[in-house]
Structure 1
Amino acid sequence: MAQKNSSPWVDYVIFGLTVFLVFCLIFESFIDLPSLVAWLGRWHPLILHFPIVLLLMAAVIGLFNQIVPKLLLTVATLSALVTAITGFFLGTESVPKGDLLFWHQWMGAGVAILAVVWYWVSTNHLQQTYLVKGIQVVLIVLIGLTGHYGGMITHGEDFLALPRSEKLEKIPENPLIYEHIVYRVLDNNCVACHNPNKIKGELLMTSISELIKGGESGPALVVGNPGESELIRRLHLPMEDEEHMPPEGKKPLSDNEIQILERWIALGASDTLKLSHLDNDEPLVGMVRKMMEPGTINSWAKLPKVADSTLQNLASDYVTIKRIASNSQALSVSVYLPPEYDPKNITDLKRISNNIIELDLSGIPIGQKEMDLVAMCKNLEWLEIDRTPVTDTEFKKLIGNTGLRVLKAYETNISDESVAVLKDFKGLRSLYVWETKISEGGLTELKEALPNLHLDYGIDPELKIEFIEKDTIVESKE
């Protein structure tokens, strides 16, 4: 039971909110909310914590104590009603509603209405002990279920599932590009918010036809034209842009994943295309093989754990750090040149040096200190030090980075003296060294020592600007 009657105006407010909530639920299909009212729904994620805490507290007190403080029950009931109503407003943005949202909305409304019944019984001094106890028990269960469905809407249906690291390894030797590669990328990064149960932005991403159909922003996929595809446009937006996908707080796609999506779209976005259908010099082959390599994935699984808070502390406007794959500690780091350069932006990365797989220092005036950091990155596979003042002296520090697969060192001051270091990189697949001091003889020596190396020591001047702007790692063809 609760203490004495509340003020009449409180009863009127609770009654009015209850009637309004029921009206919204019954006539939902006929309601078209004004933009300002719909905006109020954005407050739902903020205020929903109040009824959860207050109602659970009141229910527990009621189960073990006959007297529930009047103020507690009143505020809990009001907050439950406001939360249910703002949840309804927010739900109008998802049309059609999926099963998860449908049940979350109705269970949330059930919590609010049960709270009103409890409030009414208690404040009217009705001696219905068993009814009140029953309401309290049902509320505890219903709040838990409603919160669980809300969590699945926000984080995906499998957010409580065990980590699925093995999912990264089970790719057939001759995979279907869409089913085994592209959909895997979308499933890991996008489908949680764009599935039949949660259709964010009216966009489904569970099939090619749905991607072509698109959502409220138009087609997500334009066959044969990645540049016109909304999906690709949003993936390339700056992280701070509110239209960037995935949204802030979610793991961004790796460069390789984005390149796979782009190339698959450019090739026609087919669901029947297999890896064996592609020529060996097709760029998509290298991208897919990179994703398929079990040795790489297994080695990433052995990397030390790094907390998200550590990455956030090290990141800045000029240093971006992202995880390369789901359930992996492998990191991709890019450093950009600020108005006032401080080597500390790079040297501070020693805290995560063992986890850095990709490192982009392009165009940065790096020297001994920064190259000492690079040398500490023993698991480094992709390094970009192009357009830097690196000389043979600094380059020698890479002698221990034998796991390098891709190296961009064009427009640097390295010479034939660095060829000896490069020859020890037996796993190196792509090397870019135009406009360096390496002679023809040095290049020939490299070709002989590393016969599987894709060696690029010259580029068409007209293509140079485009290459630098894209500045993406290109996997060599094996």
Structure 2
Amino acid sequence: MHVRFRALAEQLLVAANVFILFLLIFEQKLVIPAWLQTIGRMHPLILHFPIVILLLAMLLEFFRFKPEYATNAFYKNFLQNLLLVGALLAAITVVMGLFLSREEGYSGDTLNFHKWTGAGIFFLASVIYWVRNTKWYRAPAARLGALGTIAGLVMTGHYGAALTHGADFIWEPVLAQQEQNAVSIENAAIYAQVIQPILDQKCTTCHNPGKIKGGLVLTDPESIRKGGKTGKLIIAGNPAMSLLLQRVHLPQEEKKHMPPAGKTQLTPDEITLLSLWVKQEASFKSKVTDLPAGDSLRLLATRYLGGGSVKEEAFDFAAADEEKINALNTDYRTILPLARESPALAVNIYNSSAFNAAQLEDLGDIKEQIVSLNLNKLPVRDADLKTIARFVNLRKLDLNFTDITGAGLRQLASLPHLHSLTLSGTKVTFDDLKTYLPGFKKLKTVTVWDTGLTGEQVARLQKQNRQMEVIGGFRDTGGTPLKLNPPQVKNASVIFGNVLALDLQHPIKGVDIRFTTDGSEPDSVHSSLFDHKTTFVKSQTIKARAYKNGWLGSDPVTFSFYKSAYKPDTISLAAPLNAVHQAEGARTFFDHKLGVIGANNPAWANNWAGVRNNDMVFVSEFKKPVALSSVGVHYMVEEATGIFPPQSVEVWGGADAKSMKLLTTFKAQMPVKGEAPSLRTAEGSFKTQTISCLKIVAKPIEKIPAWHPSKGNRALLLVDEMFLN
């Protein structure tokens, strides 16, 4: 290397040491702009160069003092230049890595170890470069420095790989196989032995405590239940609404597709397992064998674990063509073998909004092989039972909560092997069952709860049909009643003008909904019974529970309703919003749409307006003066991600923009460390004022509290609605 260029490179090396030391000291105060984030993301691209160059330089340094090399001028100059280049490239890599680490999603001990070992390599390489020509630097020091640098490179690479691929990436195949072999099918848990291994292999490289992309951790049940910045990951019982399955089913070219393009993708079986698991309420404790023998999740989980199934009866019909089965499998219809090497098939159809008669008619090519059919909660009608009657080997049929009537039952009586029929929640009557049940010669169980039959009628049916069991109540393997789901709000919006007619609902017929408005827990006797006559004329929070004889009461659920009597005629923002949280601009505050936890939830992406570096200043005008006495601001609190309430809110009003005066200033309750994310309202009241012009100034917290990892920084303020009364 030319002397002048070497001198310049040495000056750059000194500057790099000072700059990196500065970054490490003031790292918590760094705010990385978008263009520097791009440079930071080049860290994985360039890091291989200093690794290779420093490894080569340290190997040469280790043997530098051997007699045959000590006097070789080329060896000496080449090694010195190689070490200088390696140290400078290491400096660039460290700076890029520090920029990258400031992005959201990187935290934990693994990141700290990777950061400090990487920086340590750079400082050690710099020290070796500066002292290697001193008199005291001899073979022992050279060898010690070379070995220390190589060891540091190995450690840094290990922690970097753990960040990228997960802590157990190297031994994962062996550990997974050992764990899988150690658990029998009878003892295997659906989550621990089936679902978690899929997440570990395909998801946790980016969603672990050391690399929390999107605020999401997928290494334990509690974190999975919590979800991430984009909201809840799983809606138990509803795969279509679960963000996990939504992201998986996006096209690979979509930015939000998971796993990201370039990563190992989920197989069709793995996607089906995740979907079925969510469909089965996403239990973290259930065993595989807790599911019915013909259940799709049990069958596929058994195959995934490599085990056999429970003993099934022998079938005398041929297996269906595998290509036909694959062609008939869709996102809303799964067809799986009942057991290994068995020709019998179990069919499950999902999604009531997508169901039509063709989904049953399409199964004509495999009608002889279908022995189990699940149509639970689908809009199946009596006309569809003609198609089902052609499945001559059907053993089990689930028609719970479908639209069939007793008139259609006579078409099913011709099925020669049907031994299990569930009719819960349907419109069948006692007279229907009394007429048609005797025609089912092989039927062993029929379930008729929630059909309106009385206990006496069920007993009479049982006496008439002694060869079968008529189940008229609720039971599970423990013999305990089932718990009702919580009530739901049917109102189009929880924000109203002057009067709200409360509208609650429950999917189960005959349920009583009890509610309270004083914050107490509703009971089944004393609390108000919802009767479609309740109205609210002011903002109100209620607690509600569902009750029904034969069921356990639901968990209590809380609903908040917000009055907003006035909507401005003109709306504008006098200060810019955060570049990430633009929402619909000023219109967001009066669109009667509340956001949800997680500012980037795709279902509510346009409902959060945010500011960090300036105040949120909102100005509005009314064509006709209004009598205003209070202003409310609805905001999000998620302290873990630096989203805090407003530090203060000022309300200004007057006849026009020039004559506005301060009407009130109010503050919001501050969160405490570890507090769960929540949606809240802060409200300020004042003496009634007749105004035509209104200005609201919401100020973000200037310094996040000392207990927070981002202490001292400005907080992010997110607002989705304002209430004027």
TM-score range, shorter chain: 0.5 to 0.7
Q: Select which of 120, 134, 152 maps to 2:162.
A: 152
Matched residue, 2:89: 79
1:126-160 Cα deviation digits (max 9, x unpaired):
55224444322211111122112222222222232
Show CA shifts across 1:216-254 (max 9, x none): 333322334333322211111122333322233433223
Q: 1:277 to 1:42 in 2, by over 3 A?
A: same
CA–CA separation in structure 1 for the residues paired with 2:342 and 2:100: 56
CA distance in 2, matches of 1:253, 1:460: 32
Contact 2:205–2:211, Cα closer than 8 Å, also in 1: yes
Instruction: Tell me the residue number matched to 1:384.
Output: 327
Residue type at the aligned position of 1:51: P
TM-score where L is the length of structure 1: 0.60
Residue 287 of structure 1: CA displacement? 3.2
The 3 A distance-change label for structure 1 pair 97 and 433 is closer
- For residues 252-401 of structure 1, what are the structure 2 equivalents within 5 Å? 252-280=265-293, 282-294=295-307, 383-384=326-327
8 A contact 1:96–1:202 mirrored in 2 = no
Separation of aligned partners in 2, 1:181 and 1:437 = 32
Match of 1:205 in 2: 218
Q: Is the 8 A contact 2:166 2:205 kept in 1?
A: yes
Aligned-pair CA distance for 1:295: 5.5
- Is 1:221 aligned with 2:234? yes
Structure 1: gaps of 5 or more residues = 297-358, 363-381, 388-403, 408-424, 465-475
1:234 maps to which residue?
Answer: 247
Distance 1:220 1:73 in 2: 48
Matched residue of 1:384: which SS? helix
Where 2:42 maps in the other structure, the secondary structure is helix
Provide the rounded CA distance (Å) in 2 between the counterparts of 1:273 and 1:158: 26
Letter in 2 for 1:106: W
Q: Equivalent residue of 1:206, what SS?
A: coil
Instruction: Tell whether the 8 Å contact from 1:237 to 1:244 is kept in structure 2 after alignment.
Output: yes
**Which whole-Å CA distance do the structure 1 matches of 2:278 and 2:237 have between them?**
5
> Whole-Å Cα distance in 2 between the matches of residues 436 and 201 of structure 1?
42
Partners of 1:183 and 1:233 lie apart in 2 by: 19
Q: How far apart are 1:114 and its partner, in Å?
A: 0.9
Residues 1:427 and 2:440 aligned together: no
Pairwise CA distance, 1:452: 4.8
The 8 Å contact of residues 221 and 265 in structure 1, kept in 2 or not, is answered as yes
Larger Rg computed on CA atoms? 2
How many angstroms apart in 2 are the aligned matches of 1:160 and 1:211? 24
Deviation, structure 1 residue 460: 7.1
Corresponding residue for 1:191?
204
Work out the CA distance in 2 between the residues paired with 1:437 and 1:96. Answer: 53
Corresponding residue SS for 1:294: coil
- 1:42 Cα deviation after fit: 1.0
Please show how residues 440-455 of structure 1 align to structure 2 within 5 Å. 447=368, 452=371
* Aligned-residue RMSD, C-alpha: 4.1
State the Cα distance separating 1:113 from its structure 2 match: 0.7
Task: Report the AA paired with residue 345 of structure 2.
Answer: R
Q: CA deviation at 1:276?
A: 4.9
**Which residue of 1 is the match for residue 518 of structure 2?**
none
TM-score, normalising length from structure 2?
Answer: 0.41
Confirm or deny that 1:98 pairs with 2:93: no
Which range is displaced more, 51-60 or 207-216?
207-216
Matched, 1:30 2:29: yes
More strand by share: 2
Distance 2:189 2:337 in 1: 26
Give the total of aligned pairs.
341
The one-letter code of the counterpart of 2:327 is E
Counterparts of 2:149 and 2:295, CA distance in 1: 59
Distance in 1 separating the partners of 2:151 and 2:247: 40
> Aligned-pair distance for 1:21?
1.0
- Which residue is 2:53 aligned to? 54
Q: Using a 3 Å threshold, how does the CA distance of structure 1 residues 427 and 251 change in structure 2: closer, same or farther?
A: farther
Does the 8 Å contact 1:3/1:68 carry over to 2? no
> Per-residue displacement from partner, 1:254-303 (whole Å, max 9, x unpaired)?
3232233223333433323344554456543333333344269xxxxxxx
Which among 123, 128, 149 is matched to residue 137 of structure 2? 128
CA contact (8 A) 1:156 1:192 kept: yes
What do residues 51-70 of structure 1 show as CA deviations (whole Å, max 9, x unaligned)? 11111111111222242523
Whether the aligned pair in 2 keeps the contact of 1:61 and 1:68 (CA below 8 Å) is: no
The 1:427/1:44 distance shift into structure 2, 3 A limit, reads same
CA distance in 1, matches of 2:135, 2:93: 27
1:165 aligns with 2:177: yes
Q: CA deviation at 1:20?
A: 1.5
* Alpha-carbon distance between aligned partners in 2 of 1:150 and 1:165, rounded to the nearest angstrom: 25
Aligned to 2:410: none
Matched to 1:50, the amino acid is: F
Distance in 2 of aligned mates of 1:190 and 1:274:
23
Cα distance change of structure 1 residues 248 and 434 upon mapping to structure 2, 3 Å threshold: same
> d(CA) in 1 for partners of 2:374 and 2:158?
54
Residues 36 and 71 from structure 1, CA distance in 2 versus in 1: closer, same or farther, beyond 3 angstroms? same
Q: Which residue of 2 aligns with 1:20?
A: 19
Partner of 2:351: none
Partner SS state of residue 33, structure 1: coil
- The verdict on how the C-alpha distance between 1:430 and 1:144 changes in structure 2, with shifts beyond 3 A counting, is same
Question: Which structure is higher in RCO with an 8 Å CA cutoff and minimum separation 6?
Answer: 1
The SS at the match of 1:248 is coil
Deviation at 1:186, TM superposition (A): 1.8
Paired amino acid for 1:59: M
Kindly state the Cα deviation for residue 47 of structure 1 after the two structures are TM-superposed: 0.6
Identity %: 32
Whole-angstrom CA distance in 2 between matches of 1:437 and 1:51: 64
Q: Post-superposition shift, 1:429?
A: 2.2
Are the aligned partners of 1:214 and 1:220 in contact in 2 as well (CA < 8 Å)? Answer: yes
For 2:329 and 2:205, locate their aligned partners in 1 and report how far apart those are by CA, in whole Å. Answer: 38
